[in-house]
Chains A and B, each alone.
Chain A
């Protein structure tokens, strides 16, 4: 048999369409960097010391965050003139190690925000789904409460709480949660209403699913994407709010360190000892920024139109 087909010399061209490892990494930098920062902060918070494991003298923090050494007050960071190598980021007005306080502050700031985020997400989602599903007067009532919560001055509430039950960890959590759920409720309600109108919910009704089942098995899984995105974006908001409260002295109380209270401590010495406020401030900025970047990245990834790719 004569081969009439011309032999085409298929020279393998360099693959341009294929995604090389390098481009993939570059594309995901928007995820890798903020995720790494977040992970670092979380590790700092968890391993600040290991007293929770029964090892009080082991941990990342080089010093006791509350140990005052009066001879070492206002020491600049070790890389500056006059700094001591054992105080990497300098010391504050009581001679406490800034680095150790930043590390322990991460614990307080992150746990306050995470607890508040989970409380608000839970309450807001439950009420939002219920309002969107039930509709009618119940929905009207919930949404008016949401309107009130969203228009109530957050700082006023926080100050009232601080006066009523005294400043402290749980006061901050409570202040952050008391109003924060409303945003979720409003967002989730809209989603729940949309999904409640969808054909697959109608289908679930046709096969005899109960309202509880429709809400938990059909509506909820379809709003998880939205929920995760809001929660991630809230990390930054919550850290900022916690810092603001601690800065104003109605949050975490001395001598416990939180980033906000550390910024507040250093504000009168900004011209002479800038490092007291700056390093916790940088941490706040980094976490807030990372939270927002992560939120954007997750939203892009979870977008249903992109999910199938």
Chain B
């Protein structure tokens, strides 16, 4: 747990400007990922997980989505200050992303080989006869059987699981330093999901890629993530190694989330659920965002946002209860 820091996000603010007003989808998020490490971002839908991922690649839907503040630092450079074409050179080469629905991420009119090759050709200055070996090695990395045959096939000829792997092969084709996976397992059934996650671990071992894994599934988190950031209403409320998140969560929201995961050895009558709704991102309450739903709130929670407190190098938390 001491690899180089690949990506550092500092106080990221991303907003959507709609007719109804500014929606602060990401409101001061900070975290970092190390080499060969998997950082999980967990939270309920609409908390800003995916927007965080898209912000890193600067691929927000324009013109409504805008990064309004913060820094995203990779190799000493702030990605938010790069020119458009410079940023484009980072996408796919340094940072890759697997989108929420990888099944439909392949262009129906091109073969698998063409689509992986597109990324290779865009970023690596290779002679044409070297492209195919690169494509095959990307397919091998994703453990796709008979890559020489597969690369001549069209997406509709592949099974769902295979398509997903091809998307992974596109993402990994230039051996990026950072891979952002935005709920890639949500659309899969449990067995394929387990296989796919094992594949991620395998790839990480082989390539040392840093992974940001965006999910709402604690099972997946426990399986693959080294450290986890729990996100609530546009903010990371607690960051900790995965073990600590499960064994000794400190933030009331994290506790409540862990508590609402169904467990086989617990014979409760009803599954626990957190009362109420997350706040509207359009007009956030002045104090702690979780205050209205919190069981252990204090008076100060209503008025002031809790600062981030570092318990140790890897564990930080924003809650007035923790000092």
Chain A interface (Cβ < 8 Å from any Cβ of B): 136, 198-200, 202-210, 217-218, 221-222, 304, 308
How far in angstroms is the closest Cβ of chain A from B32?
Answer: 22
Whether a CB of chain A sits under 8 angstroms from the CB of B89 is: yes
Q: Which residues of A contact B92 (CB under 8 A)?
A: 206-208
Decide if B93 touches A206 in the complex (CB within 8 Å): no
What 6 A-B pairs come out closest when comparing CB atoms?
Answer: A207-B92, A208-B91, A208-B92, A203-B105, A199-B104, A200-B107
Q: Which residues of B contact A205 (CB under 8 A)?
A: 59, 91
B98-132: CB near A (< 8 Å → 1, else 0) gives: 01011011111110000000110011000000000
Whether a CB of chain A sits under 8 angstroms from the CB of B90 is: yes
Whether a CB of chain A sits under 8 angstroms from the CB of B219 is: no
Most buried by B among A202, A208, A221: A208
From known contacts A208-B122, A209-B118, infer whether A203 and B91 are also in contact, taking CB-CB under 8 Å.
no
* SS class, residues of chain A in contact with chain B: helix
Q: Which residues of A contact B109 (CB under 8 A)?
A: 221-222
Decide if B118 touches A207 in the complex (CB within 8 Å): yes
Interface size class of B (residues with CB under 8 A): 20 to 34
Decide if B97 touches A206 in the complex (CB within 8 Å): yes
The distance in angstroms between the C-alpha atoms of A218 and B114, with both chains bound, is: 12
How far in angstroms is the closest Cβ of chain A from B100?
Answer: 8
The residue in chain A whose Cβ has the minimal distance to the Cβ of B57 is: A206
From known contacts A203-B167, A206-B57, A208-B89, infer whether A136 and B104 are also in contact, taking CB-CB under 8 Å.
no
Q: Which residues of A contact B104 (CB under 8 A)?
A: 198-200
Contact with B107, one of A136, A210, A218 (Cβ below 8 angstroms): A218
Decide if B105 touches A199 in the complex (CB within 8 Å): yes
How far in angstroms is the closest Cβ of chain B from A306?
Answer: 13
Whether a CB of chain A sits under 8 angstroms from the CB of B96 is: yes
The residue in chain A whose Cβ has the minimal distance to the Cβ of B110 is: A221
Decide if B107 touches A222 in the complex (CB within 8 Å): yes
The distance in angstroms between the C-alpha atoms of A26 and B91, with both chains bound, is: 53
Whether a CB of chain A sits under 8 angstroms from the CB of B17 is: no
Decide if B59 touches A136 in the complex (CB within 8 Å): no
Decide if A207 touches B99 in the complex (CB within 8 Å): no
Decide if B101 touches A199 in the complex (CB within 8 Å): yes
Q: Which residues of A contact B88 (CB under 8 A)?
A: 208-210
The distance in angstroms between the C-alpha atoms of A209 and B93, with both chains bound, is: 11
Whether a CB of chain A sits under 8 angstroms from the CB of B63 is: yes
Decide if B105 touches A202 in the complex (CB within 8 Å): yes
Contact with A206, one of B63, B91, B110 (Cβ below 8 angstroms): B91
How far in angstroms is the closest Cβ of chain A from B50?
Answer: 12
Whether a CB of chain A sits under 8 angstroms from the CB of B156 is: yes
How far in angstroms is the closest Cβ of chain A from B97?
Answer: 5
The distance in angstroms between the C-alpha atoms of A200 and B155, with both chains bound, is: 11
The residue in chain B whose Cβ has the minimal distance to the Cβ of A206 is: B97
Decide if A203 touches B63 in the complex (CB within 8 Å): no
The residue in chain A whose Cβ has the minimal distance to the Cβ of B58 is: A205
Decide if B107 touches A208 in the complex (CB within 8 Å): no
Decide if A208 touches B93 in the complex (CB within 8 Å): yes
How far in angstroms is the closest Cβ of chain B from A99?
Answer: 45
The residue in chain A whose Cβ has the minimal distance to the Cβ of B87 is: A208
- Contacts A203-B170, A210-B88 known; 4 new A-B pairs at CB < 8 A: A200-B106, A202-B99, A203-B105, A208-B88
B266-288: CB near A (< 8 Å → 1, else 0) gives: 00000000000000000000000
The distance in angstroms between the C-alpha atoms of A136 and B101, with both chains bound, is: 27
Q: Which residues of B contact A202 (CB under 8 A)?
A: 59, 99, 105
Contact with A222, one of B89, B96, B108, B118 (Cβ below 8 angstroms): B108
Q: Which residues of B contact A222 (CB under 8 A)?
A: 107-109
Decide if A206 touches B118 in the complex (CB within 8 Å): no
The distance in angstroms between the C-alpha atoms of A204 and B93, with both chains bound, is: 13
Chain B stretch 155-212: residues in CB contact (< 8 A) with chain A: 156, 167, 170-171
The distance in angstroms between the C-alpha atoms of A204 and B104, with both chains bound, is: 12
Q: Which residues of A contact B118 (CB under 8 A)?
A: 204, 207, 209, 217
B59-101: CB near A (< 8 Å → 1, else 0) gives: 1000100000000000000000000010011111100110101
Q: Which residues of B contact A221 (CB under 8 A)?
A: 107, 109-110
The distance in angstroms between the C-alpha atoms of A304 and B108, with both chains bound, is: 10
The distance in angstroms between the C-alpha atoms of A136 and B105, with both chains bound, is: 25
The distance in angstroms between the C-alpha atoms of A165 and B156, with both chains bound, is: 53
The distance in angstroms between the C-alpha atoms of A207 and B90, with both chains bound, is: 8
Most buried by A among B89, B90, B92: B92
From known contacts A206-B92, A206-B96, A208-B92, infer whether A308 and B156 are also in contact, taking CB-CB under 8 Å.
yes
The residue in chain B whose Cβ has the minimal distance to the Cβ of A203 is: B105
The distance in angstroms between the C-alpha atoms of A15 and B97, with both chains bound, is: 51
How far in angstroms is the closest Cβ of chain B from A192?
Answer: 14
How far in angstroms is the closest Cβ of chain B from A212?
Answer: 11
The distance in angstroms between the C-alpha atoms of A202 and B91, with both chains bound, is: 12
List 11 interface pairs A-B (beta carbons < 8 Å), by A numbering.
A202-B59, A203-B99, A203-B170, A206-B57, A206-B171, A207-B119, A207-B123, A208-B92, A209-B88, A210-B85, A222-B107
How far in angstroms is the closest Cβ of chain A from B231?
Answer: 21
How far in angstroms is the closest Cβ of chain B from A225?
Answer: 10
The residue in chain A whose Cβ has the minimal distance to the Cβ of B95 is: A206
How far in angstroms is the closest Cβ of chain A from B82?
Answer: 12
How far in angstroms is the closest Cβ of chain B from A138?
Answer: 12
Most buried by A among B93, B97, B105: B105
The distance in angstroms between the C-alpha atoms of A132 and B212, with both chains bound, is: 32
The residue in chain B whose Cβ has the minimal distance to the Cβ of A218 is: B107
Q: Which residues of A contact B108 (CB under 8 A)?
A: 200, 222, 304
Q: Which residues of B contact A199 (CB under 8 A)?
A: 99, 101-102, 104-105
The distance in angstroms between the C-alpha atoms of A200 and B171, with both chains bound, is: 13
The residue in chain A whose Cβ has the minimal distance to the Cβ of B123 is: A208
How far in angstroms is the closest Cβ of chain A from B39?
Answer: 19
The residue in chain B whose Cβ has the minimal distance to the Cβ of A208 is: B91
The distance in angstroms between the C-alpha atoms of A308 and B154, with both chains bound, is: 11
